[in-house]
């Protein structure tokens, strides 16, 4: 298309174009007509605007086209911007030219359709106001994570997606045929990051992560994005503070850039502001069990992992995210070291979000005890040869090091206040859904 000056709808809504002639382009969001007048709400990526098309103000053919164009038709319009209190957003465009670029077929999505139908129509449903708002916030969050780490001098470091090893337990691995062999889709960037820190010291990454999760919950995806960091010379306490800073930074960036999207989603902005500036407490797993017992009358046997229900009950007592450290070693991944001060627990942590969003971050200091890791891997039936390279990292200049992973969709879902993680990613993959 020839180069032109296009006016974005937001500029009109911000009052920058009042009484001026503009040329805009977008899609018909809603339309109604009576006799010689058509009201078409136009949408572009920045917002929606009422356009008024009156017979006689433009060529007859264009008026007929405007009358006939169904929702989601793509159009180019020219006209004059007028302030009008009655119009949604307070402005309207008096149209003098209306070119239909593509007459849309009847749009399959109408009001009140089931979530499953909308997931089938995901390629079209991502145009909805709700998903557009979520996707804009997601983009801010992803950008904020890059900025956060780069500002602290971290290097971006990439790991393979096809990996021969497990990191978080064999039961959730996706197997892939690899020529005449088999390999797996990445469960985590971490093991490779532990090699990378010996060159770069402080590294981070954000990438697709795969877990064959049988659990059909509102918090689990089979393919999700994890933002991970790993740092040499860092122990548990310090790494939990980095995680808290990261989450507060993400919240601040969203509040700076996406107030109107948060409003579209009906999110309580005050709550987010409080969390962006608050201190987040750190407690131990054992203290968490005490809170559950004393304040919720819930008895969890020491050694059992915290399930969704227990995380939610625990968070009844906090208004901000909380870091929980020292989970029982026996239920932790092979690389999480025993705490020398309390060896039945590990030097590890989760960060749990308030308001029922559960675990958003998981991380730990890393074990440097080859013997202990070998035993734990063998107990899980792993082939130890596959981990020789990983153990080498403990033989050539090993240092204390730590890292964690942020579940990007968990954070998006929480900040947006949406009830299912599926809406935090454009095309969700779950046990039952892998198309479109």
Q: Nearer to Mg ion by C-beta: 79 or 362?
A: 362
| Closer CB to ligand 4AD, 78 or 372, in the complex | 372
Pick the binder of ligand 4AD from 79, 321, 362, 428 (CB under 6 A): 362
Which one among 405, 414, 422, 423 touches ligand 4AD, defined by CB under 6 A? Answer: 405
Q: What is the largest CA-CA distance in the chain?
A: 85
The option from Mg ion, ligand 4AD, none interacting with 167 (CB < 5 to 8 A, set by class) reads ligand 4AD
**What one-character-per-residue DSSP string does 165-218 give?**
S-SS-GGGPPEEEETTEEEEE-S-SHHHHHHHHHHHSEEEEEEEEE-------T
Residues 319, 316: Cα–Cα separation, whole Å: 8
Using CB distances below 5 to 8 A depending on partner kind, what does residue 354 bind out of Mg ion, ligand 4AD, none? none
Binding mask 342-381 for Mg ion (x = CB under 5 A): --------------------x-------------------
By CB under 6 A, tell whether 305 contacts ligand 4AD.
no
Region from 9-17, 40-48, 114-122, 358-366 binding ligand 4AD, contact rule CB under 6 A = 358-366
The encoded tokens of residue 124 equal 């079209």
Residue 228 within binding range of ligand 4AD, rule CB under 6 A: yes
- Residue 407 touches which member of Mg ion, ligand 4AD, none, C-beta under 5-8 Å by kind: ligand 4AD
Three-class SS of residue 407?
Answer: strand
The count of residues in the chain is: 436
What's the start-to-end Cα distance of the chain, in Å? 30
In DSSP notation, 226-287 reads: EEEEEEET--HHHHHHHHHHHHHHHHHHHHHH-HHHHHHTT--HHHHHHHHHS---EEEHHH
Strand 47-54 to 91-102 pairing? parallel
What is the smallest separation between the CB atom of 203 and ligand 4AD, expressed in angstroms? 11
Does position 194 bind ligand 4AD by CB under 6 A?
no
Quote the CA–CA distance of 327 and 347 in Å, as a whole number: 8
Site for Mg ion in 100-159 (CB under 5 A): none
Closest CB 197 distance from ligand 4AD, rounded Å: 12
407 binds ligand 4AD (CB under 6 A): yes
For ligand 4AD, the closer CB: 63 or 285: 285
The residue count for binding ligand 4AD (CB under 6 A) is: 22
Shortest spacing between CB 392 and ligand 4AD, in angstroms: 19
| Minimum distance from residue 285 beta carbon to Mg ion (Å) | 13
Window 76 to 95, contacts with Mg ion (CB under 5 A): none
Which residues lie below 8 Å from residue 408, measured CB to CB, with a gap of 6+?
A: 138, 141, 142, 145, 206, 224, 225, 226, 227, 424
Q: Is 244 in the site for ligand 4AD (CB under 6 A)?
A: no
Q: According to CB under 6 A, which one of 13, 38, 66, 360 is a site residue for ligand 4AD?
A: 360
Query: In this structure, are residues 108 and 121 in contact, taking their beta carbons and an 8 Å threshold?
Result: yes
Other Cβ atoms closer than 10 A to 371: 8
* CA distances (Å), origin 12, targets 47, 81, 83, 92, 424: 10, 7, 10, 9, 29
**Binding piece for ligand 4AD, criterion CB under 6 A, among 4-12, 127-135, 259-267, 404-412:** 404-412
Q: Does 210 bind ligand 4AD (CB under 6 A)?
A: no
Binding of residue 11 to ligand 4AD (CB under 6 A):
no
Round to whole Å and give the CA distance between 379 and 164: 18
- Each residue of 103-128: b (16+ CB within 10 Å) or e? eeeeeeeeeeeeeeebbbbbeebeee
- Contact status: 339 vs ligand 4AD (CB under 6 A): no
Q: Where are the alpha helices (DSSP H) in 278-407?
A: 285-296, 308-315, 370-379, 388-392
Looking at beta carbons only, is 65 or 409 nearer to ligand 4AD? 409
Q: Does 428 bind ligand 4AD (CB under 6 A)?
A: no
- Applying CB under 6 A, the residues found at the interface with ligand 4AD are 167-168, 188, 190, 211, 213, 220-221, 224, 226, 228, 359-363, 403-405, 407, 409-410
């Amino acid at each position: 298309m020839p180069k032109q000056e296009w006016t974005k709808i937001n500029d009109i809504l911000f009052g920058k174009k009042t009484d001026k002639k503009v040329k805009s382009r977008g899609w018909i969001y809603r339309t109604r007509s009576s006799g010689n007048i058509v009201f078409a709400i136009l949408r572009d990526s920045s917002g929606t605007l009422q356009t008024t098309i009156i017979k006689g103000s433009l060529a007859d053919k264009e008026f007929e086209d405007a009358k006939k164009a169904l929702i989601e038709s793509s159009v180019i319009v020219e006209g004059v911007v007028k302030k009008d209190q009655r119009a949604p957003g307070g402005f309207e465009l008096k149209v003098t030219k209306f070119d239909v670029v593509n007459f849309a077929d009847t749009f399959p999505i109408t009001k009140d359709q089931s979530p499953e139908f909308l997931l089938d129509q995901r390629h079209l449903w991502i145009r909805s106001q709700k998903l557009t708002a979520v996707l804009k916030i997601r983009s801010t969050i992803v950008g904020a994570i890059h900025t956060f780490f780069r500002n602290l001098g971290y290097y971006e470091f990439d790991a393979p997606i096809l990996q021969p090893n497990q990191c978080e337990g064999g039961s959730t691995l996706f197997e892939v045929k690899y020529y005449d062999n088999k390999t797996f889709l990445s469960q985590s960037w971490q093991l490779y990051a532990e090699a990378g820190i010996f060159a770069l010291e402080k590294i981070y990454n954000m990438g697709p992560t795969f877990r064959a999760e049988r659990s059909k919950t509102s918090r689990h995806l089979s393919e999700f994005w994890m933002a991970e960091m790993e740092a040499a010379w860092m122990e548990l306490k310090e790494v939990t503070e980095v995680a808290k800073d990261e989450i507060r930074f993400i919240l601040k960036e969203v509040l700076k850039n996406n107030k109107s999207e948060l409003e579209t989603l009906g999110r309580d902005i005050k709550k987010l502001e409080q969390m962006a500036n608050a201190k987040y407490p750190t407690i131990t797993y054992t203290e968490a069990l005490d809170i559950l017992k004393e304040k919720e009358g819930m008895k969890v046997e020491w050694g059992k992992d915290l399930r969704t229900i227990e995380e939610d009950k625990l968070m009844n007592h906090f208004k901000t995210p909380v870091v929980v450290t020292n989970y029982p070693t026996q239920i932790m991944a092979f690389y999480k070291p025993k705490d020398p001060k309390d060896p039945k627990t590990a030097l590890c942590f989760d960060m749990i979000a308030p308001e029922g969003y559960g675990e958003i971050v998981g991380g730990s200091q890393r074990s440097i005890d080859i013997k202990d890791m070998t035993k734990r891997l063998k107990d899980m039936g792993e082939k130890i040869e596959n981990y020789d390279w990983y153990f080498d990292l403990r033989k050539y200049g090993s240092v204390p090091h730590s890292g964690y992973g942020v579940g990007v969709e968990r954070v998006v879902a929480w900040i947006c206040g949406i009830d299912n993680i599926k809406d935090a990613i454009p095309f969700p993959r779950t046990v039952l859904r892998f198309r479109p």
